[in-house]
Structure 1
């Protein structure tokens, strides 16, 4: 199949856009467009066109979703189809005339493939190319996987296989592991079986359990009593060890306080106050010496400084004059420059006046004699209007003469026209014939439609297989509908599933019966229990012997001995039965379980036979149904598909009848149109040239009508032109009169204005324009001369004179005469003197401030020293001493006494807190009675005994809890039911894990077999083709592809021209992409040799290639285009030139 045309009617950003793909021996089409031009939309449009527009399409942003529409013309050999795809729930395929097409109308063109397969096999973009290159890198040691996923376009094949293998390993493996689902369920089953066995109760168990509980309770209470006694002893020893140091410290402190009872109590901060006062006195004395020296030095420096106060009083005036001096300094040079500028301007003005023949005495007189601005502007306006007025006059005169000649020409043409008439019937007959289209094309189209419909019917009939029959037979066929067949298929599948399930359950149940029988036999052989039946049998034998004894037979003694022996045996068996009643009960439980399992097996066998009977009955009914319908042997699995194919055949049969009917109608319409057109031509006086050829008749009619319409149109046009020309001629005559009046008025204004401006009356417009320019130049430069003199030179001279007066006045005020100096020089010297006076004044102020600060610090230090002495004196008086050293000793005794009292208070608090309510006398008695050196050893021994008792309590508590749980369980619980439920749950999990393992393991194995089979079948031819393509793509960098058979598993390598082999991991990213592309194209070529040919869509594959490798890729695409249509999308415009240079002009280029 190939596209002849693709119509983007309403899709994405496109509206009514049609792309043509003409056929060629190299069926290669290059679609070029910038980014956002719609190339991705075009790819999506091809998929949606062939396989249907999705319900939620992302391409409805411009057009509403329900209006999305695509169209195309496709061909497949001699068969073609022109169709439209719309967005709808059903009947999405339409003809160009909006007629419904069958949903399977594209099947003959697509060859039975689906959307995903087409997108994967016949589509490749840059992302998939890179993904495929990475995929073959990950699978480089598995050549089968490389070939398979390259051919299928699936880069994640290895991931799928690995996931299947990993899931299978998590389900089951030969090595047992708690992480595998099957073994986890098996462990759960073992735990449930153990719990079930423990839930069984034996005789005398309860009594033993209850006795054990009482014993454990008594032992636990004795252990608790022992623990309390040991804990009391340990607490007493701990108290002695903890408080003995406190008692000893209290005694020592009391002795020390006795020695210090005469010490004077001083404030708590007395030592700190004394230390701080001594530091303050020492610091003040040291700094006082330094500050007094600084005061003397400052007074000496002040006496040596002298300041000129009169000069400082004029500081601001001197600074202002200095500023003005700096500003006036460039004035001299500027005045000379301005005078030179005035002289140059005066020269230019004088030259302009000479051209106008004017006298030039001064600028002021010259400005007064210049014409006013209004007169100059009026002269300029008149000069500009002169050419326009002249041109208007000439144009009006020329237009009047030309239009008069046009009127005369139109009158001549009207007189020479002849008249041609046609009837309305001829026009109607021609329009009717033209609406039918080209006769030959109509006939050919109808023939093609009939043949296409016939071919479609034949294809549908062949699809029916051995159950093929005529259209009439198919239409009368009485057979269940598709829904009924689907119900029957589900019913048969239910029967199959039921038989399979029952067979599986029966197999498992037979195993369960065997296991139950094995348990009964093993228990009997192991325990040999005496059953009640054995006792009954022994008693029957005893009674039989007793009956013989009572009959007094001849052999009485023998019978009596046998009776005694039988009686002893019966008694022994009875005693044995009573002693092992638990074993008998358990044996009976096993036998009951065996009977239950056997009953289940019998029930399952009956259900299986019934299910098989139902399946056989269903199969017989189906066979009878198909035989009655003439479809003998049609499998139920294929019936639904056959019904769909039958519906397709009926629909195509109906389409054939409609096509034949449309063909006959079209041919009849052509015949009628021919007869009607021939008749009306004769009525209009025209003899038909070919009376049976509708096309020839249409040409004659068109020529006649065209001639008549042309004559009429020419006459109407000439009449209209003549009327318009006469109207225009009258207007042109009026325009000529107005133009002449305007010319005369301008001449009068021109003469009067020249006189007012003082210019020669003979001047023309050009001369006047030049004179106006000179006048403007004279005015501008004369005014500029006046402005420079008044605003620049005079102003600067006035500033300099005023500056000299101010300088002389200042010098007189401060008694500093100029003595012939220039004012500027005098101001500079005064500024320097002011600066020196300021420095002297600043130094005097600094020294005065320093002296004041030093004197203030001396006073503060004297005060600090006095305050420190004032702090010490009260302490001396309270202590009764006169020196600082004696005061320090008294303060130390007072602090020691205070510390001892505080420590005694703390020790008493600790003694009260840690004494466990004991008085000091009792604690001292305990300490005196204790052996202090051995107390640590005694405490350690008691701690060990306590730990032993605690461990004993824990053990007894655990044993007691276990014993009580046992008694509770014996008293009745649901443990057995819970254990049985857990057992059934474990069995279900084991079954699920086994079933899932079979599915997953089989899927992984089938995938592996498929890869190996594909490698065996395709490796040879595919590698031959891929080698040639790969060598072309790499431009000879690699010679061919080879398989290293010595490695296990085999690996794929590239061979360079020098014979060196390079593995896939040794190739660059771009080379791996080229390898994947070569394998992909080779697989596609092999498929095209065996299956339907479909267009290959490539999207910007060479985005990372240089021009040389891009050209090689284009050649590979062109080679593929010789087998099937190739549509290559790109946003690189240089690819067009590269493609034409590489492939020639045979390619088709489409611009988006």
Structure 2
């Protein structure tokens, strides 16, 4: 693709601005667009991008024209075709062709070879931002452009995206210290299942009793359900009978209405609307017949009243034949008197002109000369006038030259007494080159200083600022690892704290339940029962020793207490089992709490150690206060950037030290010679340039004065000869003029009368032509009038009209006779045709009436003779009655079916039998009673269901075997899935590493051509300062390095800004060659990226742009005049300069 022309119709500050790049030249397609600051160079490049990719929703270039009014158009050469496109800021139809037809967006995408706007900017539209940003990506093999350049030659650019997807899939399965991967989620689910299994795995007790209680509750519940179903069925039967009684009444009512309608048909195929239409048609045709008969009677009367004269009809053609002659006659009546008056006026005017020329009326014909004589006289008059003007002009020119000679004698220039030749001085020191180099050096140092200052400012924390780059005690990747470790430890500590709180809550709940069973439930624990038995045994031993009544009573009381405790324990066996289980669970919960507490203490210790490590790093970096661990990696990266910026500043200062020293020396020399006080280099050079310009101006003024003096003296001698020749020519012209006038007009006119012009003679000649024309017109009009009157009189004689000499009156009489005859014939024919049409209409209406009568008879055939259908009105009434009867029959049939379906019987008789003896009142009472019985059963069923639920709950509380088995099965499934995730992760990770290694080897083998092209271009741009390019591995990608002439290797970030830009330009040029080799050439734009280049490297950069122009199209935008001069110097005719 090539840009033929670009038109910024309404964009930015431009309205109707057009760049015409013309057809591609054999010498190259390199263009330089030059203009001052803010002239619109960047606007031009942005306009081109919008032509290709459209307008953004918020456009910063809509400051002069509203966004909705923006418009950009251009002509593109695509292969052998030339196409014109227009881009508008609208949703639909934003891209149109030369005919205004809207085009789809993919029409432009196909031309661009798949490059999106971001890729085009970074690769082919370069400014200070995109050349640096895209260049960094290229140099480190990152981003889409990096992949394109590092992989395109190997044909594997698509594989990089595939490998990124593989890496992403592997990371989703498992990633170190990540908590959201599939492996981590499955691991947490397995731990949760282990915990749940431990909580549910308890021994069963009192199982048989609880099972018997459940079976009894289920049996009672089933009995109540069966009873409720029977009551509901009985109530449904009663409700059915109650609903059927009104339906039977409706059947009886409809049957009574249909008595006496048996003769009406069972089916009606007549549309009532058709009958209405037939009635309307019958009325319409009857009215047509009446109207036609009335019109026929009137037409017969009018026909008999017509008076016909066919003998006058030939007058029509005769008068038509005279129409042209009559038109000339009427024209003569209008114009004849006027033409005679004009003829007299023109004759009088010619006589007046002859008197003005000094001639008598008798000599008028002598003044009428032919065109040749007129031309000869005009030529002689013009020659006389030119000779006079020439003589006067040459005299005036001679006088002016003499005045100029006297003025030059009195205006001799004053020369300067300056001792220093400032022009030679500036050339000796190379001031122009030094100025450019000095500006570049100052800019580079200032840019490096700004970068360094910005990097120091980025290190500011609260009120602590840094004047120098601090020490970096830890690498940024290590800082990120430390921050991740602190985050994971904080998360683990929080989870352990939550687990400890859950254990505390569980212990408290179990303790409260045990206390409740012991204190409020009457349950005697094993310890209390053992204590009672021990007391009984003690009292028995004492009784055996003393054998007293008191000892016996004490033993009896103790024995009774043991028996009572045994009874209570027997009656509360179920609660006792729960108590024993709770006590075992409590012991286990306390053990788990102890283990969690130990883990929590260890986690706290690890977390404190990690925080201490963060604080140590911050202290070593010179921070007064420790940073938040999450903020540490970002600050460490900023510190690394500050160290790099400091190093870059030192290198820039060293690179430009010689230029700055030479600039200081030149400034001091100029200051001493020109007596300046502490000037800058720019001020000193400007002063020297002004003095050099003043000296040059004085020299040129002296040389110009001497040259002008010589020129004026020579011109005066030439002018004197010219004046004499002009006077001689004037005398000859006057003599010829007098002789010509005398011979042409035979003495009737003096020569002086025509010196001011020949207008009177031309007027006489023109008036004579008009006078002759008026004479011819008058004669023709008179002849036409006579002929017209003679022909009209012949027609009047033929038709016996009285004699008449007035042609208009005679024509009017003849026309009246012809018109009357023609009108009578036309009226006769009109009435005859009207009568014929009326007869036809009357016959057609009668035929339609006959058809209607036949249709009525056909429709009435379905009715028996007992029903009146002779007329349309009778038939319509019969149809309406039949429709009503059919509707009632249908309703009766539906009612019968509904009744028999309701009662589930076969016919109406069986339905009557079912309803016999039932009334609405008795059925309503029965339904109410059944409803109350159902409510009682529902209440009892609710109680039985609650009891059954309680029994089921009690049984489930005892046994958890099935739940344990289910949870164990789930745990086994999760463990299998964990194995599958681990296997899949290993497959992806190992496959990714093997594929990366294969791609790297393949890339090393196949990309040498592109790397050599970039290497050669970079060597050209740096004038041999850098001789080789290579790549080194950097993690999972590669980094570009350059070797200078001394063999030292540098990365792009270690180069000066100008050299770095030259490297990035070389990479773009190599990429452009790569695209061109693949058949894709696109316009290559650069916006003042040579600004940091010195003059020699600028020349080399212009050669590179010209080389790109040989392959495709290169366009450079600049506000530096010296860049334009260098481009023309280096490229010659291969570059075209456009000005804004």
TM range (shorter): 0.3 to 0.5
TM (norm. structure 1) is 0.47
Scaled by the length of structure 2, what TM-score is found?
A: 0.47
